[in-house]
Amino acid sequence: MLALKQRGEPIACLTCYDAAFARLLESAGVELLLVGDSLGMVVQGQPTTLPVTLDQMVYHSRCVTRAAKRSLVIADMPFMSYATPERAVEAAARLMGEGGAAMVKLEGGEPLVETVARLTAFGAPVCAHLGLLPQSVHQLGGYRVQGREAADAERIEADALALQDAGASLLVLECVPSALAAALSQRLRIPVIGIGAGNACDGQVLVLHDVLGLTPGSAPRFSKNFLVEAAAAASVGLGSEFSLESAIRGYVDAVKSGAFPAPEHCLA
């Protein structure tokens, strides 16, 4: 992923929870497969990601890694599984050893610097996550854009630099102003993957169910239904076929070309 950042090629990432979609996403050119604890909401029907357990994350990671041959698989560390550095090491050992993940992802800033350093010292690559933190949704007061105020933006920037220095290999920025995400993408050595963070990041990630229009109710403003777009293109002869894979390829192509996210998908 670092090579893609260095040559300025946007990175395409999607969440993935099973073997069938792992094969499809990899075939469509998705470079990063995130086994997200978002499965609690889109697969299990939970109101938040908080009820997802480590056992469930290991199970879904194993399903994905059985099928993925080329894409890098990242597994979310679920709520409270990294409350201490010692617990984080144990959880990462399971996600990578039993689940087969190549990297683990955790949410939070400065308080997790020691944890990131401990994980990387033991050979566990880490993806950090700043901005909107779904596991802290109750503390944040809901799903709101983070970093609009100058002090908050400075804190996110300081956290990003500290996590990078601690050994993080990737950073996900969720629901932050586009200008802040662009500045961090330029300043950090590691790739920055955005979701609701504008199109100047080194890559983009979306929840698979949002891309395929499977999210009940209103989809997040920063997402896009690429299945509908693939169907429309096929109906007027602009697409050779209409399929799930063509929709995913549409997402990958839009990320690579810079067409996604468009201004209407940016939150600030």
Residue of 182, 191, 178, 172 whose CA lies nearest to 134:
172
Name the one residue in this structure whose structure tokens are 């499809």. 24
Contact indicator for 143, 41 with CB cutoff of 8 Å: no
Q: Could you give the CA distance from residue 122 to residue 49 in angstroms, rounded to a whole number?
A: 27
- What is the DSSP annotation of 9-72? PPEEEEE--SHHHHHHHHHTT--EEEE-TTHHHHTS--SSSTT--HHHHHHHHHHHHHH-SSSE
Q: Output the CA–CA distances (angstroms, integers) from residue 91 to 21, 39, 184, in the order listed.
A: 25, 18, 29
Q: Is 134 helix (H, G, I), strand (E, B) or coil?
A: helix
The catalytic residues are: 174
3-class SS at 192?
A: strand
Q: Which residues contact 218 (CB under 8 A, 6 or more apart)?
A: none
- Is residue 173 helix, strand or coil? strand
